[in-house]
Structure 1
Amino acid sequence: MTGAYVDPNAGKVTLTTFFADWSQRQIWAAGTAKAMSLAVRSCTFADTELRNLKRSHVESWVKKMSQEGLAAGTIKTRFNNVRSVLHGARNDRLIATDPANGVTLPRGRKPEHAMAIPSPSDVGRLLSASEPWFRPFVAMCAFAGLRLGEAAAVQLADIDFLRRTLSVQRQVQRAGAGQASITPPKYGSERAISIPDGLVQILARHVENIGTYGAQQWMFVGGDGMPPHQNTVGYWWRKTVKDAGLSGVRLHDLRHFYASGLIAAGCDVVTVQRALGHSKATTTLNTYSHLWPTAEDRTRSAAGAMMNEALGNPADSVRTDRA
């Protein structure tokens, strides 16, 4: 009568078996397919029939991941991936309800506590300590906000030296042990970035002094004429951090440095979103909302500006009135 009936016999298939069939019908990037498969394999209830799944199965799995020391963000990602499979089973009318509904996940650290933003002097030290060929790579991450894979996949044609723009059109992803593949950037991340004159000069000097490689004119090269693998970049980054006399600085922290600089300069949410290549403005806000001035800060600054304009020096005006 309500249209919610599900045949109990339909749920005799296990989560693993259903995923093997359901995943073949999904339009995923290679990285997404790999993450989804990993999440399902990690399930403690992967071989349980869907009709027998209960909320307690999901809660036990989340508890196990937490006890194994997985980060809260990793647990949330795996949970959401498996839940999307369960939603697929529900849409195929193999289960009536979502057994993951209402499951409590571990709390992650707030962005303002978990995010490490290098200081301008730290970034300067990193650039000075970088090998000549690696310096443009670090500069693109710090002053254009590129992700590691995006910076590795930059080609000479992506840089418009006259208009001072950098186009992000592809990324490098791991494709096995020591192997790299070229894929489109993350959804919503294809963009053209306005870059500063200083970065233009660094890139131009790199092309002049070191050159570019391959028929496709990669700005950086790894093995077999391909862009550098993530492991290669990681090695040179760790060496750069050590040579700069720093510790605990991740390459991705340069992206936070770039975002914080845009926000400090007064850029709005949409501008920062487009520069970083976030698919949604909510992603930008969830990550960097603590860096924007609060409503109280803006109210206080606006009221103070009005007061200064109306009264000049407020303290002198008060003393004059009392006299």
Structure 2
Amino acid sequence: MATIEKYLLNDGALRYMVRYRKPDRSQTKKKGFKTKRDAEVFRATVEVDKANGTYIDPAKANVTIASLGPSWLERKQTLKPSAYRPLEIAWRVHVEPAWGKWPITEIIHTEVQAWVTKLSIGDAKSTPAMKPKSATTVIRAYGVLAAILDDAVKDRRLQTNPARGVDLPRKKKKAHVFLSHEQIRDLADHAKYPTLVRVLAYCGLRWGEATALRVQDVDMIRRRLSVNQNAVDVGGKIKVGTPKSHEQRSVPFPEFMAPAIGELCKGKHREDLVFPNPDGTYLRHIDMRERKSWFGSAVIDSGVPRVTPHDLRHTAASFAVSAGANVKAVQRMLGHSSAAMTLDVYAELFDDDLDGVAVALNEAVSRMNVP
């Protein structure tokens, strides 16, 4: 049972101290209570928390966000480099400067909400004025702080996470840009690597998947591209790993592209890249010698709507649907984790299917009413 003791400060002031046992039976104490009633309230609270299993050891709770953040980041290194780097940047740029010195027990919900709001709308009082951050940046930074505090709750450093329940900005869905066959032709004709542009637009490969293709991944007989690797630019360095979904897939390419792809593979070894830089390394859409994007230049010169290499996946999806492919086929081609994800991203491409359902139902009822 916890006990309450009196003691005097150097100036003669009376204070009270509570001695009690933690759930592991080790003894500890809490000093500094100005009145006996305050000490009794603390003693009662400790006994209730121990009985309910919600007791928090003050020694474990006496930590700052800066002491917990690095170990949390270290555990996230199992992610793909392209997924880990945004988290590391969010911690280093937004979370650690704002919350690093804060003891976790002093963080309150309203302070977190104020921080999220300031990131979203900017801070005119700062010098220079802090510009508003995108919804993606704000949500990612908040997610890092909230996840660190989640771990603190699991480790019995906190009873609840004060960051949860915060109002976050909404992401604005970017409108998809779908190019026509004629626009893809014009874009390819003005591009330094025309066959690569067509592979992106007609096969739906991600940039890193296309630039990681090797000769051995090309089946000219079946006209298939085997997607086994993904070469991603992370902080200026190319990191090669598995595709985004971690699953290999086989993607068909149209017959009209076969001669150009075959020519790129001609005379190469099986391990050679299909779309290499002139020096044989992984290709980038920015020409490092000229310090400009060859893809961006092709977009401008061809006069097509402004698109990125990744946007050509949208065009590939639209071509596939217009050719009669169902959602499952589009999912397999694009390498989505599920058909539900494909529908979430490209629901507008399947609107005609809804019209077809209505027409089919009308025809069925009409046939039933024919004498």
Superposition pairs for residues 124-163 of structure 1, below 5 Å? 124-131=185-192, 134-163=193-222
Structure 2: distance between partners of 1:84 and 1:230: 35
Say if 2:216 and 2:270, in contact at 8 Å, map to a contact too.
no
Change over 3 Å in CA distance of 1:164–1:298 after alignment to 2: same
Can you list the C-alpha shifts for 1:291-321, whole angstroms capped at 9, x where unaligned?
3238853442222333676689xxxx9xxxx
* Residue 286 (structure 2) aligned to one of 202, 206, 231: 231
Superimposed CA distance per residue, residues 123-146 of structure 1 (whole angstroms, 9 cap, x where no aligned partner): 121122223xx1121111101111
Do the aligned partners of residues 284 and 97 (structure 1) sit closer, same or farther apart at CA in structure 2, a change above 3 Å counting? farther
Flag structure 2 segments of 5+ consecutive residues without an equivalent: 1-50, 122-130
| CA gap 1:143/1:24 in 2 versus in 1, 3 angstroms | same
Match of 1:83 in 2: 146
Take 1:75 and 1:189, find their aligned partners in 2: how far apart are those partners?
A: 30
For 1:140 and 1:259, locate their aligned partners in 2 and report how far apart those are by CA, in whole Å: 13
Give 1:11's match in structure 2, choosing from 61, 72, 89: 61
Q: Which of 206, 221, 244 is the aligned partner of 2:276?
A: 221
Q: 1:79 to 1:280 in 2, by over 3 A?
A: farther
Q: Tell me which moved more, 116-125 or 249-258.
A: 116-125
Q: Aligned AA for 2:91?
A: V
Letter in 2 for 1:229: R
1:269–1:246 Cα change, 3 Å: closer
Query: TM-score when scaled to structure 2?
Result: 0.72
Q: Secondary structure at the match of 1:51?
A: helix
SS at match of 1:225: coil
TM-score, length-normalised on structure 1?
Answer: 0.82
Describe the superposition over 1:44-96 as per-residue Cα deviations: whole angstroms up to 9, x where unpaired: 22332222222223323322332233332333334334433332332222222
Q: Percent identity?
A: 29
- Asked if residue 260 in structure 1 is aligned to residue 260 in structure 2, the reply is no
Checking the alignment, whether the CA contact within 8 Å between 1:130 and 1:240 is kept in structure 2 is yes
* AA partner of residue 23 (structure 1): L
- Asked if residue 182 in structure 1 is aligned to residue 232 in structure 2, the reply is no
- The aligned residue for residue 7 of structure 2 is none
Answer 1 or 2: which has greater strand percent.
Answer: 2
Q: Larger % of helix: which?
A: 1
Following TM superposition, the consecutive aligned residue runs of length 4 or more in structure 1 with deviations greater than 4 angstroms are 307-312
CA contact (8 A) 1:150 1:172 kept: yes
Instruction: Verify the 8 A CA contact 1:118 1:249 in the aligned structure 2.
Output: no
Q: Which residue of structure 1 aligns with residue 302 of structure 2?
A: 244
Shift of 1:255: 0.4
Show the counterpart of 2:172.
109
Structure 1 stretch 47-56 or stretch 138-147: which is displaced more? 47-56
Write the letter of the residue equivalent to 1:59: Q
How far apart are residue 110 of structure 1 and its match? 3.7
C-alpha distance 205-72 of structure 1, shift in aligned 2 (>3 A): same
Query: Aligned in 2, Cα 1:99/1:137: closer, same or farther, shift over 3 Å?
Result: farther
User: CA, structure 1 residues 46+199, in 2 after alignment: closer, same or farther (shift >3 Å)?
Assistant: farther
2: CA distance, partners of 1:194 / 1:182: 23
Q: Name which of structure 1's ranges 144-153 and 214-223 shifts more when overlaid on structure 2.
A: 214-223
Q: How many residues align?
A: 305
Query: Secondary structure of the residue that 1:293 maps to in structure 2?
Result: helix
Task: Please name the residue that 2:82 is paired with.
Answer: 31
17-26 or 227-236, which moves further after superposition?
227-236
The one-letter code of the counterpart of 2:119 is M
Following the alignment from structure 1 to structure 2, what is the Cα–Cα distance between the partners of residues 65 and 101? 17
Report the Cα distance in structure 2 between the residues aligned to 1:102 and 1:55, rounded to whole angstroms.
8
Higher relative contact order (CA 8 A, sep 6+): 1
Note closer, same or farther for the CA distance 1:16–1:192 as it changes in structure 2 (3 Å cut).
farther
**1: distance between equivalents of 2:285 and 2:151?**
33
The 2-side partners of 1:145 and 1:93 are apart by 47
Matches of 2:213 and 2:103, distance apart in 1: 47
Shift of 1:215: 7.9
Q: Do the aligned partners of 1:123 and 1:142 also contact (CA within 8 Å) in 2?
A: yes
Give 5+ residue unaligned stretches, structure 1: 318-323
1:73 aligns with 2:127: no
Residue aligning to 1:272: 330
Question: Could you tell me which amino acid in structure 1 is paired with residue 280 of structure 2?
Answer: G
